[in-house]
Amino acid sequence: MIEESYRVGILTLSDKGSRGEREDESGVLLAEMVSKLGNVARYQVIADDQDKIIMMLKSWVDDLHLDLILTTGGTGLSPRDVTPQATQAVLDYQVTGMAEAMRSASLNITPRAMLSRAVVGVRQQTLIINLPGSPRAARENFEVLLPVLPHALAKLNGDPADCAVPDRQ
């Protein structure tokens, strides 16, 4: 059982979505999935613009002090896919194991998973996770991380408890 409720932001990166030409299915799905961890304090759809993404991420961390930010979209190879670069620009450090776990699990589903450039990292005490733009891929990737998110967020919020799994000490 999760004792703390975290403040979450969901940022969808989509040129078409920002212009109202496409409905944001991934962001809505992630909002439902994250409800067990906390409440969605911020949700926005913006264009694939590196400077705007950087500005939004900094604001959500530095001004709003969100605990978790999920981005969806912009993690592929197209020239407009700039989410990883924007995320890296604001991070204090990366949590590479989480990004590797998503790619590893996805490789069991599709070889295209190796094309993902998704980044996971921390700015101040906020965990930022890049997820794919496809609803199915966003769900599959986020499901991989769900079991460790309560512990990760607790640690970022200063939980002094040992990290050892009780039956694996």
Element (H, E) at 26: helix 25-33
Measured CA to CA, the distance from residue 107 to residue 147 in angstroms comes to 19
Measured CA to CA, the distance from residue 152 to residue 46 in angstroms comes to 27
Q: Note the pLDDT tens digit of each residue in 148-164.
A: 999 999 999 998 887 76
Which is higher by pLDDT, 169 or 109? 109
Q: What's this model's pTM, rounded to 2 decimal places?
A: 0.94
Specify whether the CB–CB gap between 108 and 42 falls below 8 A. no
Q: Note the pLDDT tens digit of each residue in 14-70.
A: 999 999 999 999 999 999 999 989 999 999 999 999 999 999 999 999 999 999 999
DSSP code, position 2: -
Over its C-alpha atoms, the chain yields an Rg (Å, rounded) of 15
**Residue 29, CA atoms < 13 Å, CB-side half-sphere:** 20
What spatial distance separates the first Cα and last Cα of the chain, rounded to whole Å? 21
pLDDT band, very low/low/confident/very high, at 12 (cuts 50, 70, 90) = very high
Q: Is the dihedral of CA 74, 80, 84, 86 positive or negative?
A: negative
Specify whether the CB–CB gap between 41 and 64 falls below 8 A. yes
The number of angstroms, rounded, from the C-alpha of 69 to the middle of its chain's C-alpha atoms is 5
- Which domains, ranges and CATH numbers included, belong to the chain? 6-155 (3.40.980.10)
Measured CA to CA, the distance from residue 127 to residue 107 in angstroms comes to 24
Q: Is the dihedral of CA 134, 82, 13, 7 positive or negative?
A: positive
For 41, phi and psi rounded to 5 degrees?
A: -85, -30
pLDDT band, very low/low/confident/very high, at 169 (cuts 50, 70, 90) = low
| pLDDT at 97 exceeding the cut of 90 | yes
Contacts of 15 (CB under 8 A, 6+ apart): 47, 48, 80
Over the chain, what is the mean pLDDT? 94
